[in-house]
Amino acid sequence: MTSRAGTWLLRGATGLTLAFIYLPLLVILLYAFNTRRTLVWPIPGLTLKWFGKAIDNPGVRDALVVSVKAALGATAIALLLGSLAAMAVARHRFFGREAVSFLVILPLALPGIVTGMALNATFRNLPDPLGVQLGLFTIMVGHATFCIVVVYNNVVARLRRTQASLEEASADLGADAWQTFRFVTFPQLKTALLAGGLLAFALSFDEVIVTTFTAGADQTLPIWILSNLSRPNQLPIVNVVAVFVILLSMVPVYFASKLSSERTLVGAR
Amino acid sequence: MAAFWRLDPFTAEIVHDYGFQNFKLLWESDVYRAITQRTILIAAAVTVTDALLAFPVAFYMAKVASPKTRNLLVVAILLPLWASYLVKVYAWRIILQEQGILNWALDPLGLSGPGFGNVATWLVFSYLWLPFMILPVYAGLERIPSSLLEASSDLGAKGPRTLWRVVLPLALPAIAAGSIFTFSLTLGDYITPQLVSSTQFIGNVVYSNVGVANNLPFAAAFATVPVAVMVVYLLLARRAGAFDNL
Which residues from B are below 8 Å from A22, CB to CB?
A: 80
| Whole-number Cα distances in Å, B162 to A4, A208, B50, B52, B170 | 16, 43, 22, 17, 11
User: What pLDDT is stored for residue B213 in this prediction?
Assistant: 64
Mean pLDDT of A8-29: 88
**B223 CA: distance to closest CA in chain A (Å):** 6
Which residues from B are below 8 Å from A2, CB to CB?
A: 63-64, 159
**B173 CA: distance to closest CA in chain A (Å):** 16
Low-confidence winner among A50-59, A83-92, A211-220, B4-13 (lowest mean pLDDT): B4-13
User: What pLDDT is stored for residue B10 in this prediction?
Assistant: 42
Contact B131 A21 (CB under 8 A): yes
Query: A46: which strand partners?
Result: A34
The shortest CB-CB distance from A109 to any of B64, B203, B230 is to B230
Which residues from B are below 8 Å from A21, CB to CB?
A: 76-77, 80, 127, 130-131
**B114 CA: distance to closest CA in chain A (Å):** 16
Banded pLDDT at B211 (limits 50, 70, 90): low
Contact B185 A111 (CB under 8 A): yes
Q: Please check whether residue A112 is in contact with residue A209, taking contact to mean a CB–CB distance below 8 angstroms.
A: yes
Comparing B246 with A267, the larger pLDDT belongs to B246
Number of cross-chain residue pairs from A and B with Cβ atoms under 8 Å apart: 198
Banded pLDDT at B241 (limits 50, 70, 90): low
User: What pLDDT is stored for residue B48 in this prediction?
Assistant: 93
**B242 CA: distance to closest CA in chain A (Å):** 13
User: What pLDDT is stored for residue A267 in this prediction?
Assistant: 43
pLDDT one-digit tens code per residue, B154-177: 887 777 777 777 888 888 888 888
Contact A268 B82 (CB under 8 A): yes
Count of alpha carbons within 13 angstroms of residue B186, beta-carbon side: 35
Contact B207 A113 (CB under 8 A): yes
Contact B92 A208 (CB under 8 A): no
pLDDT one-digit tens code per residue, B215-226: 777 777 787 888
Low-confidence winner among A72-76, A108-112, A173-177, B117-121 (lowest mean pLDDT): A108-112
User: What pLDDT is stored for residue B21 in this prediction?
Assistant: 67
Model confidence pTM above 0.95: no
User: What pLDDT is stored for residue B46 in this prediction?
Assistant: 93
Banded pLDDT at B12 (limits 50, 70, 90): very low
Tell me the ipTM for this assembly. 0.76
User: What pLDDT is stored for residue A266 in this prediction?
Assistant: 47
Contact A121 B86 (CB under 8 A): no
User: What pLDDT is stored for residue A35 in this prediction?
Assistant: 73
Banded pLDDT at B243 (limits 50, 70, 90): low
Comparing B39 with B2, the larger pLDDT belongs to B39
Low-confidence winner among A85-89, A233-237, B106-110, B238-242 (lowest mean pLDDT): B238-242
Q: Which residues of B34-47 are buried (b: 16+ CB within 10 A; e: fewer)?
A: ebbebbbebbebbb
Burial grade of A10 (CB within 10 A; 0-12, 13-18, 19 or more): buried
The shortest CB-CB distance from A225 to any of B90, B135, B153 is to B90
Contact B87 A245 (CB under 8 A): yes
What is the residue-averaged pLDDT of chain A?
A: 80
Banded pLDDT at B47 (limits 50, 70, 90): very high
Contact A11 B64 (CB under 8 A): yes
Q: Nearest-CA neighbor of B240 among B178, B149, B148, B186?
A: B178
pLDDT reading at B82 higher than 60? yes
Q: Please check whether residue B221 is in contact with residue B36, taking contact to mean a CB–CB distance below 8 angstroms.
A: no
Which residues from A are below 8 Å from B136, CB to CB?
A: 266
Contact A226 B86 (CB under 8 A): yes
Mean pLDDT of A162-187: 85
Backbone angles phi, psi at A13, to 5 degrees: -60, -40
Interface test with A, best of B39, B87, B153 (most A CBs within 10 A): B87
Which chain A residue has the Cα nearest residue B179? A109
User: What pLDDT is stored for residue B107 in this prediction?
Assistant: 75
Terminal-residue alpha carbon distance, chain B = 30
Contact A13 B223 (CB under 8 A): no
pLDDT one-digit tens code per residue, A36-48: 767 766 777 677 7
d(C-alpha A225, C-alpha A241), whole Å? 8
Contact B188 A265 (CB under 8 A): no
pLDDT reading at A194 higher than 90? no
What is the residue-averaged pLDDT of chain B?
A: 79
The shortest CB-CB distance from B223 to any of A42, A109, A117 is to A117
Terminal-residue alpha carbon distance, chain A = 37
Interface test with B, best of A31, A33, A40, A117 (most B CBs within 10 A): A117
User: What pLDDT is stored for residue A77 in this prediction?
Assistant: 93
Residues 6 or more apart whose CB falls under 8 angstroms from that of B53 comprise A17, A20, B126, B130, B133
**B28 CA: distance to closest CA in chain A (Å):** 23
pLDDT reading at B5 higher than 50? no
User: What pLDDT is stored for residue A128 in this prediction?
Assistant: 59
pLDDT reading at A236 higher than 90? no
User: What pLDDT is stored for residue A1 in this prediction?
Assistant: 45
Contact B191 A208 (CB under 8 A): yes
Query: B188: which strand partners?
Result: none
Residue B13 sits at the vertex; the CA angle it makes with B7 and B19, to the nearest 5 degrees, is: 30
pLDDT reading at B121 higher than 50? yes
Which residues from B are below 8 Å from A263, CB to CB?
A: 135, 139
